[in-house]
Structure 1
Amino acid sequence: MAEYPYGLSINPFSHVPTPSLTAAKVLGGRRWKEVRDRILVCVDELREAMLRGEQVFSIVSIVGPLGTGKTHLALHMKTLKDKFECAYVDLTRIEPKDLKSIYSAIVKDLRNDFFQELHDGLILKLGERAEEGNDYAMKVLKIGLFDRILGRRASSIAENIINKRRTMNLSYLKGTLPELAENCALESALRILSKDSLWFLEAKDFNDALEKLKGLATITCIIGKVLLIEIDEISATKPLMDGMKAMINEKLPGVVLVSILRSGVETEIGEADPSLYDRLRKAPFTCSLSQPDDPEQIWDIIREYLKFHSAIITEEDGEALRNLIRYAYDEVGMTEIRELLALIREALELAKGTNRIGDEHLIGAIIRIRPNAELKGSIMRIPIPDYLRIIRTSMKTLEETSYGLTRAIRDLGRYLFIREAIFYAHGASRRIDTPGGSKSFRLADAYFEEKDGRKIAVNVKLTEKECLTKQEIDDTLEIVEHGRVDQAIVLTNAAYSRDLEHPKLVFEKMADRRSIADYLYFSEKFQASRLTENDEKNAIRLAKCLGVGYWG
């Protein structure tokens, strides 16, 4: 029986920031998928070149701040093992950070059966060379006159050797393949065919590590396999930079070298080792990862996790989840991948035993994750729980929001009067006589008089339309044209056209619910006489944004 919503038996979202290989099988987000696909293109290009007999090398550079999915992407590439061989090295886990340690980490991260695959692939390659008439290959496979008389094919003999039904004579190995002319490749081939994989585990020094790595790469290339080497958390330490430069200069055959580093480290490398910096910058493919600039990318990541764990998501469920994520992204300012994944994890925990995540689960999860956090961009520095309460209790409808904002503006006026920042504040709607207008008077939602005698009317005009019409602010236009005021301020959530502009008219855009919540939060604390010293400083900032009050 499903314990979690959407038919899930477990919560797919982990508490651990670094994913397991199982979790890394999931990859979402347009940008991350693009980078994966580009790396796969590099792999395919190398494989095609290898089929043409070329020994080629490529570099991929991935740069980004902490928490932007670099490590997840690298581990995801490791799960695609049917396409290539992959070794992932996390430099935070090895000491010292030099080529010898990197080489050792590469070998230890290869699959358990990798050397067996090299062994079998190399023998089959010798079988191909023998069928092409290479005398040395035939001698290695010990193909004699009796085999020729019986018509035994070299490929069959190679398979028999793999299956331990025949033996080899490795003394003739050097002449079998041109790639084995170099001592490092020949020694590696001999060790692999002798099943001495332990020889690869340790290197004596820098040069020995480089030779063994080149030999291993050469054998991998001979059997037509691309080796992806991912080096994560690169830093500007000299031994590490020397090792990276050596691998690049050696042009390891059949290798795609993926360098993964945090933003800013590139600059440090440029200052410490310009030649390495130049090589990394000239990588055939360089990508920069960052936090998503669109909640749709977050939704795609979350959807991939749910799909991987066989969640039953209807179209209606999907749309609801998308809206919840957009709400957390736009309204609460949760824009980082880790935080939003943690949010969904907590929401699923709170929704245990139900069919789907609801608003109450999401709000509870936000409070769990950000219990003492303040609303991003809030002038009044509203705590997240207070913001969520305000939008649930005071901003359910447009009419309720307009009423609350109007009352808050009047409260702000009263506060400014108490602080002696203005001369007068009317406590309710104010009648403004408009002789010569279509009506004898109009009402302003709030009315202030500055200490210099300026008279200011304020009207709240919240609408569901994208743009204010002349009819909607007709009362305010008549106030500035026929009333005895020096300025009218229109608080609105909509755009306005240029034909509504007037020298005495100021439009103050309430960009989103967070802007309105600042006023409502102030009003709550003012009416309850709970304004702190910091609240009062922030209230002055609100008044300055509104353009009201004297602060000399």
Structure 2
Amino acid sequence: MSVNLYPYGLEQNPFPSSPTPTIHDARVLGGKRHREARDAIVACIDDLYSKLKAKDGNYDSRDFRLVTVVQDIGSGKTHLALHIKSTRDDVICSYVDLSTISPKSMHGLFSSILRGFDSEYVEHLRSTIVGEIKRRAMEGNKHARKFFRPSLFFSNIERLADDVMKGKREPDFRYLNHALADMDIDMDEYELLVIKKIVENRFTDVSDLSSLEDMLSFLASLARINQRFLSKITVIEIDEFDSNMDSIEFVKAIINAHLPSTIVLLITTPSVYDSIRSISPSLFDRLEKANYKIDLVGSSTFDEIADIALEYIRKNVKDLRFSIHESDITGKIRVVYDEFIEFRNIRSLLNILYHAMEIAARRSDKVLSEEAIEEAIKQAYPGLRVRGSLMNVPIAEYMRIRREHSSIDALEHGVKQAVKNLLALMQEHGKISRVEYDTAINSISADAVYMDANMKRVGVMVILGKDYASMKDLYHEGISVDRLLVINNIGSNSSNGAVFVSIDKYKIADLIYFSQRYSKKEITDIDVEKALLLARSITLH
């Protein structure tokens, strides 16, 4: 059974289909600005590790770091945070999206931070702690043995520890503190509570922790345990930070607490950041003094977005020659980016590229084609039209017209035919009369000559791609028309009686779109009204 490959020999679609970043998608990080932001966070992590190493793992209140990421919606802040969480194996990371928490209470925020840690991490920590106690028990430590509650008939520590890990046996926590003390690990009541919850598989059950002091002590204890048992620092990523008072007070408390061997990554928008200035000057002061302040300005520029898109392919493609296709893909992305502000957001562009890849795979295309992109826009954004278009041209049709008329000769031919079809429609509706096509006016070849509503003889010429100097003397004394209309793409002007009407690329699209529908007899009554307005816009009547 043959399987259709995606363009460039890809076995799967490299682009994400989710409207918001996911952990899986975030493993790919493209764009110069985003990589610089990533490197700043990595530098913060490395700096904290170097300080801990210098102190041989002993930490104090100075081993806390604050990083702020402030930028507009759609700039890639969430993607950056999830990238750190999904790719840095040397940190224990919790990701919290405050927009998903309701109601926002301090206890709710605290609980969400605990739920933001991966279940794999909790299980690994549980296994490490139980494994360390098991090791000491098997070495003969009496407190460690009593922790597993051996009996006269069942004293196999290996199996007892396995039952504890599987939740089949509850250990005796009265001996936990002594067992840890025998390992030269001194723990306070909160650290013992953290371990108890982890071993009992109740890590996120914090109903017994209600005060702010309890919550902060629990987080500090967890950070110390991560460092002691896993030799890793803790990263708490708080996304969609807002100006809710409980959010503000809780984050301020975390910063003031200086959680040991911990980095807090705070993500918000400029508007929220500014509002905090007036709502909580004390928190604003702390944020202004962050160890690292990351600004993703420029994250929506073309170069940034194009590199992000290319990086998804680079990470998945096996063909080492793929780089030869990068300029071609970049050019196709630029058309979409330059023409339509709707696709200057990375998520919107990635969505189009995802659908385009699916279409290209069904067509067995070897490369990502303009046709696939056009079809993707047509399917994913069927109601999207060119802004200001009189004929309400769909964006996909605009791109097709632009592609099919890429040369100046093809473009001029298309506009000439469009003007002729427009004049034919006007004659059908009594706006003009006596239309002649491709006729000579004295020695000048005109595309059409007609009589307007005032019985004035009008000549029309379509001349694209020529400068004004080469056209300004077209009209001369004795020419047998009352008005010579020159449709061009260089600028509007009048010279020697000739009227120059400039049409931009959107007006050209209007004309050709109308012309093609007219030729296929697809013009509706509403289209007729729009077409007559189009004719008036280029002074045909």
Query: Do the aligned residues in 1 keep the contact of 2:126 with 2:198 (CA within 8 Å)?
Result: no
CA–CA distance in structure 2, aligned partners of residues 14 and 171 of structure 1 = 48
Match of 2:181 in 1: 169
- Report the more deviating stretch, 411-420 or 360-369: 411-420
Pairs aligned (count): 475
**Matching residue within 274, 287, 295 for 1:287:** 295
Cα deviation per residue 1:294-316 (whole Å; 9 max; x = unaligned)?
1x444423332223334435345
CA–CA distance in structure 1, aligned partners of residues 279 and 531 of structure 2 = 45
CA drift of 1:509 comes to: 5.5
**Matching residue within 373, 377, 390 for 1:366:** 377
Match of 2:251 in 1: 244
CA drift of 1:426 comes to: 5.5
- Please state if 1:407 is matched with 2:417: yes
Match of 2:472 in 1: 477
CA drift of 1:26 comes to: 1.1
Match of 2:529 in 1: 536
Query: Do the aligned residues in 1 keep the contact of 2:384 with 2:395 (CA within 8 Å)?
Result: yes
- Please state if 1:206 is matched with 2:223: no
Query: Do the aligned residues in 2 keep the contact of 1:379 with 1:518 (CA within 8 Å)?
Result: yes
CA drift of 1:243 comes to: 1.4
- Please state if 1:4 is matched with 2:13: no
CA drift of 1:511 comes to: 4.7
CA drift of 1:45 comes to: 3.6
SS at 2:386's partner residue?
coil
Match of 1:55, as an amino acid? Answer: D
SS at 2:93's partner residue?
strand
Match of 2:405 in 1: 395
**Matching residue within 22, 25, 28 for 2:24:** 22
Compared CA separation, residues 389 and 51, structure 1 to 2 (3 A): closer
Match of 1:354 in 2: 364
CA–CA distance in structure 2, aligned partners of residues 257 and 282 of structure 1 = 13
Match of 2:462, as an amino acid? Answer: V
The residue correspondences of 1:100-499 to structure 2 (distance < 5 A) are 100-110=107-117, 111-112=121-122, 115=125, 168-169=180-181, 186-190=188-192, 201=204, 202=206, 203-217=209-223, 225-262=232-269, 264-266=271-273, 269=276, 272-273=279-280, 275-277=282-284, 279-280=286-287, 283=290, 284-288=292-296, 292-294=300-302, 296-312=303-319, 314-330=322-338, 334-350=343-359, 351-352=361-362, 354=364, 356-357=366-367, 358-376=369-387, 378-384=389-395, 386-387=397-398, 390=401, 395=405, 397-412=407-422, 427-429=436-438, 431-432=440-441, 441-445=443-447, 459-463=461-465, 468-469=466-467, 474=470, 476-480=471-475, 489-492=486-489
Compared CA separation, residues 42 and 456, structure 1 to 2 (3 A): farther
CA drift of 1:58 comes to: 1.7
Match of 1:516 in 2: 508
Match of 2:144 in 1: none
Query: Do the aligned residues in 1 keep the contact of 2:475 with 2:484 (CA within 8 Å)?
Result: yes
CA drift of 1:281 comes to: 5.3
CA drift of 1:76 comes to: 0.9
Match of 2:329, as an amino acid? Answer: L
Cα deviation per residue 1:30-89 (whole Å; 9 max; x = unaligned)?
332222222223333434454565434223123322x44332222111022234332111
Identity across matched positions, percent: 27
Match of 1:63 in 2: 71
Q: What is the TM-score of this pair, normalised by structure 2?
A: 0.70
Compared CA separation, residues 503 and 92, structure 1 to 2 (3 A): farther
Compared CA separation, residues 229 and 450, structure 1 to 2 (3 A): farther
Query: Do the aligned residues in 2 keep the contact of 1:232 with 1:260 (CA within 8 Å)?
Result: yes
Match of 2:312, as an amino acid? Answer: Y
CA–CA distance in structure 2, aligned partners of residues 253 and 538 of structure 1 = 70
Gaps of 5+ in 1: 124-163, 175-184, 434-440
Q: What is the TM-score of this pair, normalised by structure 1?
A: 0.69
CA–CA distance in structure 1, aligned partners of residues 434 and 274 of structure 2 = 56
CA drift of 1:263 comes to: 6.2
CA drift of 1:460 comes to: 3.0
- Please state if 1:79 is matched with 2:61: no
Compared CA separation, residues 316 and 195, structure 1 to 2 (3 A): same
CA–CA distance in structure 2, aligned partners of residues 211 and 549 of structure 1 = 79
Match of 2:523, as an amino acid? Answer: R
Query: Do the aligned residues in 1 keep the contact of 2:472 with 2:496 (CA within 8 Å)?
Result: no
Gaps of 5+ in 2: 56-61, 134-175
Match of 1:214, as an amino acid? Answer: A
Match of 2:355, as an amino acid? Answer: E
CA–CA distance in structure 2, aligned partners of residues 249 and 451 of structure 1 = 81
CA–CA distance in structure 2, aligned partners of residues 30 and 76 of structure 1 = 15
